[in-house]
Chain A
Amino acid sequence: MVTVGTIIYEPGNSTNKTGSWRVFKPIMDKDKCVMCENCFIFCPEGCIKEKDGKFEIDYDYCKGCLICVNECPVKAISSIREEK
């Protein structure tokens, strides 16, 4: 049923798995990471998340733009071609 006024009541329910768009895949080397937060603040998908004091990429939503790879000052993120 479509709601009155097509209002969406569930905040942030865009669960569409945009990770399937990926052509390249960023791989993060957590040991190399110096927690500068660059990748975190520049990721357009907000899919780099902190867990137990370390950053992690959520591949369900990562579209593989590789901004994180380009912006990491210590080259802690590399990229590979996505295997489908």
Chain B
Amino acid sequence: MSLLLDVKGVTKRFGGVVANDAVSLSVREGEIAGLIGPNGSGKTTLFSSIVGAHPIDAGAVLYEGRDISALRIAEIARRGLTRTYQQTRIYGQMPVIDNMRISAPDVKEGILPLFRRAGRASEARARDLLSFVGLYEKRDLLAGSLSFGQQKLLEFAMALMSEPKLLLLDEPTAGINPTLINGLIDRLKRANKELGVTLFVIEHNMRVIMNLADRITCLAHGQVLASGTPDEVREDPRVLDAYLGAQ
């Protein structure tokens, strides 16, 4: 499998805090990669560094073999690399279905496509994806009136609507009703298999990430502590230490 994402020695500082310290890791095309680490270890910052939400201080981010570290977030999104947010970001004063409509892939082509009719296929896809995450009944409600967990699901559906090649998900199960988590894991796997979206997932829930990811990287204090298969990472004493030490 070829490398879709190759992060090489990325460093990001906030004043005196080194949130990412020469981080190197990679994501292969078609896989589900996981990112774990204690609170404050720099996971979200790494996602922001990858998608161009902020300039990085050192290193390079290669996506499809090209260095994208100087590009801005919108340009990177247009190439098919998108992220969801830990705190969820949706368009709160718009109905759920309109959140989907404005996430269609052709809005990334410019202003003029916005005047084209969305087309039946696009409408159907918006409805299908809402059904996929279980929000079809809520389609006419304002997105801001949904619960946190439902907003998370909507944001996931919006991301899929935009047809990314690589999707970075920041704690997709946070705030989701525990009885629904297994269903969500199943949906993430289906998005990966059936829609062909490569996933890179930050997850706090160990059971979830062990179940989901093909390979896992563990961060601590901004540095890569360990990486490998779920079993390798789970049994790595440094990972156990980092988690126990952080409790």
A and B are interacting partners: no
A residues near B, CB below 8 A? none
B residues near A, CB below 8 A? none
